Amino acid sequence: MIGTNVSGLTKEDIGYENGVLGGVVSALKVFAAPGDKVLLHSPTYMGFTNAVLSNGYQIVHSPLIKDENGTWRMNYEDMDKKIKKNQIHVAIFCNPHNPTGRVWTKEEITKAMEVYERNNVWVISDEIWSDLMMNDHHYTPTQSVSEWAKEHTAAFYAPSKTFNLAGLIGSYSVIYNKPIRERIQSVGKKTVYNSMNVFSEHALIGAYSDEGNNWLNQLLPVLSQNVNLAYDYVTKHFDGVSTFKTEGTYMMFLDCTDWLKEHDKTQTELLERGWDYGIGWQDGGLFQGPTSIRLNLASPTSRIEDAFKRMDKYVFNAEW
C-alpha cells in the first residue's frame, strides 16, 4: 500500500486477520455456502486451492492466457461464461498475481470488475504483493477502480511478503462496506485466537514507517535486477523454456513445455535434476501449470546468478 495514494480510508475500514488466507476464508464464509463454486484464475496460488477446497467450496478456473507478446491476460468472456454457467457469486482476485507476476493495470481491473458487477459477484481481492513492484511497475488497488468495486470487494494485505515478517503472523483487511465488514470480522473472531500479538503489531508499525519505506526503496532495485537477470538468462540461453518478465511479486513462472518435449524428459525428472544440482525450485503443477516451474527470486543477486549458471551447466544445456 506504500505510495498508492489511497484516499478516503478510515480507521473503521481496516480489520485484523492472523493471515491473508484466513481472511480469504472468513470472507468466503460470508459470501458463499459450503459446496458453492468460486471463480479463480489459473495458474493459481496453491494456498487458495488448499484453503478453498479444504473449507468445502468448489473451484472453477478461468485460465489466464498469454498474448502475442507473452503477457498474461485475463479472458473476460471466459470469466463471464463460467460465472453464468456455474451460478457463481464470489471470485478470488489476486492483484498482483502470484505465480505469474502480472501487475494488473487499472483498465484490466476495471474490465474484470465490470464482469463481476454484471453477474452480482462479490470479490475477495488478495493484495499481499502490492508493495513489491519490479522495474517501476504501478500497482492499482482493486477497490479504487469504481464505486461498485469499493463496495463489493474485501481486500487483504500484509507486511509479511515485503518485510519478510510471515513468521510473526499478522495481516489486515480493507472493507469499506460496513455490513460486509462486520460480518467478515465476526467470522474471523469466532476462531477466538485471531488477534494481534505485540511483536507483530510493532513489526507492522516499524515496517510502515519512513525507515521501512527507505529499506523497501533499496530492496526493489535489487529484486528488479534479479528479475532482469533471470529473464535475460531464460530468453537468451534456455531454448524451449519461456517466461513472462515478472512485473510484481518476486516470483517467476517458467514454461518448460517445449524443452520437456524436445528432450524427452518428464517434469519430475527435470525438477529432480535441478534439486540434485543445488537449485531450489517448485513444481508448477501445484499452481495448475503441470509443465511449469515457479522460481523465488528474493535472494542476493549473486545467489540468483549462481542458480542460473547451474541451470545452464547442469540442467537445460547439459547432456543427461
Ligand X SMILES: Cc1ncc(COP(=O)(O)O)c(C=O)c1O
What does the binding site for ligand X look like in residue numbers (CB under 6 A)? 19-21, 45, 47, 94, 98, 126, 128, 158, 160, 166, 171
Identity of the residue, 159 or 212, whose beta carbon is nearer to ligand X in the bound complex: 159
CB of 248 to ligand X, least distance (A): 11
CB of 194 to ligand X, least distance (A): 12
CB of 253 to ligand X, least distance (A): 13
Position with the least CB separation from ligand X: 19
CB of 294 to ligand X, least distance (A): 10
137 Cβ neighbours under 8 A, 6+ residues apart: 103, 247, 248
Identity of the residue, 96 or 212, whose beta carbon is nearer to ligand X in the bound complex: 96
Identity of the residue, 23 or 316, whose beta carbon is nearer to ligand X in the bound complex: 23
* Contacts of range 7-13, beta carbons closer than 8 Å, 24 or more positions apart: 9/174, 12/178, 12/181, 13/174, 13/175, 13/176, 13/181
CB of 138 to ligand X, least distance (A): 19
Residue ranges of alpha helices (H) inside the chain are 20-31, 46-54, 76-85, 106-118, 147-152, 178-189, 198-207, 210-237, 257-263, 267-276, 301-310
Terminal C-alpha separation, the chain: 46
Identity of the residue, 47 or 285, whose beta carbon is nearer to ligand X in the bound complex: 47
Contact 157, 128 (CB under 8 A): yes
Identity of the residue, 248 or 274, whose beta carbon is nearer to ligand X in the bound complex: 248
